[in-house]
Amino acid sequence: MGSYYIGVDLGGTKIATGAADATGRILVRDLRPTEAEKGTDASIANIKASIRQVLKELGGDSQVRGIGIGSPGPLSAEEGIVYSSPNLGWNHVPIRRILEDEFGIGVKLENDANVAGLAEWRFGAGEQCRNMIYITVSTGIGGGIIVDGQLFAGSLGFAGEVGHMTVVENGPLCGCGRRGCLEALASGTAIGRKGREIARLGVPTSMRDLVDGDIDRIDSVVVAKADAAGDPWAREIVDEAIRYLSIGLGNLVSVFNPDRIVIGGGVSNIGDRLFEPLKRMILTRAIRESAAHVQILRAKLGGDIGILGAICLVVE
């Protein structure tokens, strides 16, 4: 017996669904492949099956108060429609209505980065502070902005795209089609690309040795490993990514005067090597009072962030 909330973390390769109570304690989970390559109907059937499995394990006498779903975008949270998602191969899918019709429970939809921001704010490193910015640095750079304890969605719901701030005019090409975005300069993808470029110059870098000379295999993990081992070329690549991150975050600190910035995603795993210089540099790149106030913290939630964030959409 009791009240529960269901969160669906929808990704291009897997669907993770969980049921939790209002404190974020996950009681039941289901993990299965999205099978996006089999088409939209197949992936929707998998989402339904995953939710059905969680409901079944939860037991008939439990009350489910809502289903939240975090999905790759672009999407409309207001309409509950995923417009188009290269990861899912979806085009204009009214997923909220589809799931409400199926289960008779209220459904809310939000993009995955915003959902992760909500999760860290409510259950993680944000500790429900008043104003918080979440940034995830992995293959791409995404973000979620919490203002006065609420997700800041913007007029059309597209706010929080911190990875697509221009930080270099005519800089490297970004996945969004524009140039010089933060994502094109400081994401894991950008770090890996830079590693391959440097290795191809023929300079004496251990990055090449780490992949047995197969330069195409150099990615951000290889660069980070070479950096940790003292390779000066890798060090310069990581330093450069941190400088660009400090520009992006410094701008956000000046604009939003947040209490906390929480950084997640694979690149944040390099730990102090990232956080210590970043904290120092932000002091020089943002309004003094705001820079002195903000805490720069590592995300806390790990693999459950997507499920917990989706639950935040519906938890009272």
Nearer to Zn ion, 106 or 172 (CB): 172
162-168 LR contacts (CB < 8 Å, sep 24+): 162/133, 162/135, 162/248, 162/252, 163/187, 165/248, 165/251, 167/244, 167/247, 167/248, 168/244
**150-151 and 141-147 beta bridge pairing:** antiparallel
The Cα 181–Cα 90 span in angstroms is 25
**CB atoms closer than 10 angstroms to residue 133:** 28
**295-298 and 260-264 beta bridge pairing:** parallel
* Nearest distance from C-beta of residue 106 to Zn ion, angstroms: 34
Chain residues binding Zn ion by CB under 5 A are: 164, 174, 176, 181
* Nearest distance from C-beta of residue 137 to Zn ion, angstroms: 14
Q: Which residue has the tokens 């003094």?
A: 288
The Cα 252–Cα 74 span in angstroms is 22
Total residues belonging to the chain: 316
* Nearest distance from C-beta of residue 110 to Zn ion, angstroms: 20
* Nearest distance from C-beta of residue 157 to Zn ion, angstroms: 18
Nearer to Zn ion, 169 or 216 (CB): 169
Nearer to Zn ion, 131 or 139 (CB): 139
Nearer to Zn ion, 122 or 164 (CB): 164
Nearer to Zn ion, 184 or 278 (CB): 184
Nearer to Zn ion, 174 or 301 (CB): 174
* Nearest distance from C-beta of residue 248 to Zn ion, angstroms: 12
- Residue of 160, 147, 177, 150 lying closest to 256 (CA atoms): 147
| 3-state DSSP assignment of residue 33 | strand
The Cα 227–Cα 248 span in angstroms is 23
* Nearest distance from C-beta of residue 292 to Zn ion, angstroms: 30
